[in-house]
Amino acid sequence: MLIKERLFTPGPVPLPPQVIKALGQQIIHHRTPEFTQIFKDVRQKLQKLLKTERDVVLFSSSGTGAMEASVLNFFRKGDRVLIINGGKFGQRWKEIASQFELKVVDYEIEWGKTYDKDRIVEIVGEFPDIRGIFVQQSETSTTTYHDVKFLGEISAKLEDCILVVDGITSVGVYEVYPEELGIDVLVTGSQKALMLPPGLSVLYFSEKAEKRLSKSNIPKYYFDVAKEAKKQQKGQTAYTPAINLIIALNESLQLILSEGLENLAKRHQILAQATREAVKEIGLKLLSESPSNSATGVYAPAGIDADQLRKKLLELGFRVAGGQDHLKGKIFRIAHMGYFDFNDIIQVIAGLEIALYKMGLNVDIGKGVKKAQEIIINNI
The reply on whether position 376 binds its own copies by CB under 8 A is: yes
SS3 373: helix
User: Interface residues for its own copies in 5-34 (CB under 8 A)?
Assistant: 6, 24
The reply on whether position 224 binds its own copies by CB under 8 A is: no
- With CB under 8 A as the contact rule, the residue among 270, 284, 300, 321 that binds its own copies is 270
- With CB under 8 A as the contact rule, the residue among 317, 324, 330, 359 that binds its own copies is 317
Task: Pick the closer one to its own copies by CB: 211 or 370.
Answer: 370
Strand residue runs (E) in the chain: 6-8, 56-59, 80-85, 103-108, 130-136, 138-139, 144-145, 162-166, 185-189, 201-205, 295-299, 318-322, 331-335
Cβ pair 372, 276 in contact under 8 A: no
The reply on whether position 229 binds its own copies by CB under 8 A is: no
Task: Pick the closer one to its own copies by CB: 158 or 304.
Answer: 304
DSSP assignment of 326-343 equals GGTTTEEEEE--SS--HH
Task: Pick the closer one to its own copies by CB: 94 or 276.
Answer: 276
Rg of the chain taking only CA atoms, in angstroms: 21
Task: Pick the closer one to its own copies by CB: 218 or 354.
Answer: 354
Partnered with residue 84 across adjacent β-strands are 107
Task: Pick the closer one to its own copies by CB: 240 or 343.
Answer: 343
User: Interface residues for its own copies in 340-369 (CB under 8 A)?
Assistant: 341-343, 346-347, 350-351, 353-354, 357-358, 365-367, 369
* Dihedral angle of Cα 189, 191, 197, 200, to the nearest 10 degrees: 0
- With CB under 8 A as the contact rule, the residue among 76, 208, 230, 266 that binds its own copies is 266
Report the nearest approach of its own copies to the CB of residue 196 (Å): 16
Long-range CB contacts (within 8 A, 24+) of 157-163: 157/124, 158/124, 158/128, 158/130, 159/128, 159/129, 160/131, 161/130, 161/131, 161/132, 161/133, 162/74, 162/131, 162/132, 162/133, 162/206, 162/208, 162/209, 162/212, 163/132, 163/133, 163/135
Question: Which 8-state DSSP code applies to residue 199?
Answer: S
Number of residues that bind its own copies (CB under 8 A): 38
Question: What mask of x and - would describe binding to its own copies in positions 235 to 264, judged by CB under 8 A?
Answer: --------------------x---x---xx
Report the nearest approach of its own copies to the CB of residue 4 (Å): 5
- With CB under 8 A as the contact rule, the residue among 94, 267, 310, 336 that binds its own copies is 267
Binding site residues, its own copies, CB under 8 A? 1-4, 6, 24, 255, 259, 263-264, 266-267, 270, 316-318, 339, 341-343, 346-347, 350-351, 353-354, 357-358, 365-367, 369-370, 373-374, 376-377, 380
